[in-house]
Structure 1
Amino acid sequence: MRTLPRVVLALAVVGALLLVTVWLVQRRLIYFPDRSAVGPAAGAVVGGRDLLLRTSDGLTLGAWLVPPSGVEDRRAAVLVAPGNAGNRQHRVPLAVALAAEGFTVLLFDYRGYGGNPGSPTEDGLARDVRAAREALLDQPGVTADRVVYLGESLGAAVVTELATEHPPAGLVLRSPFSDLAAVGSAHYPWLPVRLLLKDRFPVADRIAHVDAPTVVVLGTADTIVPPEQSRTVADRAARLTRVVTVDGADHNDPSLVAGDAVVRAVVEVTPV
């Protein structure tokens, strides 16, 4: 019995050390950047053009502008906010599919991704997407009332926050989570995620204040973002147009990455 207090103390110390470690490295569990530099836009997609974004805290980020390639030019642009992994090279199929439908497309990388300086944080990504929007609006013929935001997973949180300040013509949220703590708790149920989390991304709370036609796209077999969380976001949306359900699709299924469901959703929320 004398050893019991020592065991309890040892377990408490181990637990405390674990929590401190998680606190210190938590962003490594959230953001998975491909930091390698990408080549020029023209080498990745026909007609692509390189852009430089200037953030409000002094960073210079890389981006690609992809012109419409279809017969029809919709005179509308799509700002693509990526998820938490890879870089803009991995979003080329999506840009190609949207360009074929007559859209101008901006692909950009957050700080710390695609050879960009800095490290990703919630505040940093908010600055990055604002720099992307400003650069897009600087392009000839692009106006704020013809810009659609498309966010994938983490990017859905990023564009939802942007939309509370700068409402788009339309908003497409692909595989959104209700908030970062909720999806973290789903993967680490043994951790006090809400207590530890630095970055919050409260999508379900923010979408209730977004005045823009909104489509939510989800996969029923998503193992990263539970489908019920995407449905929660849809339920909270102030101007929900439709929920697009892709049966059997996991988080990175091609049908969700650059498939017809996503492209049609963008077309749906774009003003005629």
Structure 2
Amino acid sequence: MTVLKRLAAILIGLIAILYLGATGLLFFLQRDFQYAPAGEVFEPQAVGFSGEVVTIPTGGDEIVTGWYAPPRDGMPVILYFKGNAGSFSAEHVRYRAFSEAGYGVLAFDYRGFPASPGVLSEENILADALSAYDWLAREGHPILIWGRSLGSGPASYVASVREAEALLLETPFYSAVSVAGERYGFLPVGWLMHDQFRVDQWIGEVAEPVFVAHGTADEVISVGNGERVFAAAPNAVELWIEPGGTHGDLWARGIWERARAFFESVNRGG
């Protein structure tokens, strides 16, 4: 029994060491797991986008860089919040589609992403999002907010503290910490995670009409997140759950056509 007890003690010790090691790794490298900021920065003219490069002052006397194109007369502007990978400019197909349909568009990189130097953190992302909204509001056009994936965090936050015509959330999380809990349920992520993006807390303060889009085959942010966000929105208007849709293919599956119908409905007042 003594040998068995010693072996059991050794095993328990090894498990404890592995657990503490995993906890420490997640704590110190968590932003490396959460964000993938490397990527090519495109120039608008090189990809056929008619807008201009703009720089927007943000927190700490720093700037973020983005693209802006004004709308046609009487049309709103889409304020687009990107996901967690690469540069905003990689999604130029979307911006061209927005602009060709008469919508204005403002999209940008948060600090720490390729076009905007600085420290990458939730605090900075939310500050950058508010700075972008405030810069755009001075242009005087109605604003539609579109947040994709990670962008559902700043999009929901901005909509909760500023006024817009509508909020569209594409593959949103209920919170970043809830997604981490799904992946790393054996770790105390609620205590460890710096950038939690509590959409679950912000969405209840969003007065704007809300459209939520998600795919049933999303392996990055499970579809249940989108369903919970929609259920928590005070002015939830439309929930589009695409059978077989993944985290990255809703554009190809027609989200823009559905988004335009939603935006036009909002513009008509119902």
TM-score by length of 1: 0.89
CA distance in 1: counterparts of 2:34 and 2:145, whole angstroms: 22
* Cα pair 1:35 1:116 within 8 Å, conserved: no
Match of 1:21 in 2: 25
Query: Conserved in 1, the CA contact under 8 Å of 2:49 and 2:92?
Result: no
2-structure distance, mates of 1:234, 1:267: 20
Q: Supply the distance in 2 between the matched residues of 1:10 and 1:246 (Cα, whole angstroms).
A: 44
SS at match of 1:54: strand
Contact persistence 2:59–2:124 (CA under 8 A)? no
Deviation at 1:236, TM superposition (A): 0.5
Displacement after TM superposition at 1:149 (Å): 0.5
How many residue pairs end up in the alignment? 264
Kept in 1: contact 2:70–2:77 (CA 8 A): no
8 Å contact from structure 1 (residues 74, 103) kept in 2: no
- Tell me if the contact between 1:94 and 1:258 (Cα under 8 Å) persists in the aligned partners: no
Task: Tell me which residue corresponds to 1:260.
Answer: 257
CA distance in structure 2 between the partners assigned to 1:263 and 1:24 by the alignment: 42
Instruction: State whether residues 216 and 242 of structure 1, in contact with CA within 8 Å, keep that contact through their aligned partners in structure 2.
Output: yes
Deviation at 1:114, TM superposition (A): 2.2
RMSD: 2.0
CA drift at 1:76: 0.8
| Counterpart amino acid of residue 47 in structure 1 | S
Bigger mean CA offset, 233-242 vs 44-53: 44-53
| CA displacement at 1:91 relative to structure 2 | 1.6
Question: Contact 1:174/1:256 (CA < 8 Å) preserved in 2?
Answer: no
Q: What secondary structure, in the 3-state scheme, does the structure 1 residue paired with 2:56 have?
A: strand
Decide whether the 8 Å contact of 1:216 with 1:244 is kept in 2. yes
If asked which structure has higher relative contact order (CA below 8 Å, sep 6+), I would say: 1
Q: Which has the higher helix share?
A: 2
Q: CA deviation at 1:251?
A: 0.6
Aligned twin of 2:49: 46
TM-score (normalizing by structure 2): 0.89
Letter in structure 2 aligned against 1:211: A
In structure 2, do the counterparts of structure 1 residues 257 and 151 end up closer, same or farther at CA, with 3 Å as the change threshold?
Answer: farther
1:17 Cα deviation (Å)? 2.1
Contact 1:172 / 1:216 at 8 angstroms: preserved in 2? yes
Rounded Cα–Cα distance in structure 2 between residues aligned with 1:101 and 1:134 = 24
- Cα deviation for residue 6 of structure 1 reads 3.3
- Aligned-partner residue type, residue 265 of structure 1: F
By how many angstroms is 1:59 displaced?
1.5
Corresponding residue of 2:118: 118
Q: Which runs of 5+ in 1 are unaligned?
A: none
8 Å CA contact retained: 1:172, 1:266: no
After superposition, the Cα gap between the structure-2 partners of 1:79 and 1:169, relative to the gap in structure 1 and judged at 3 Å, is: same
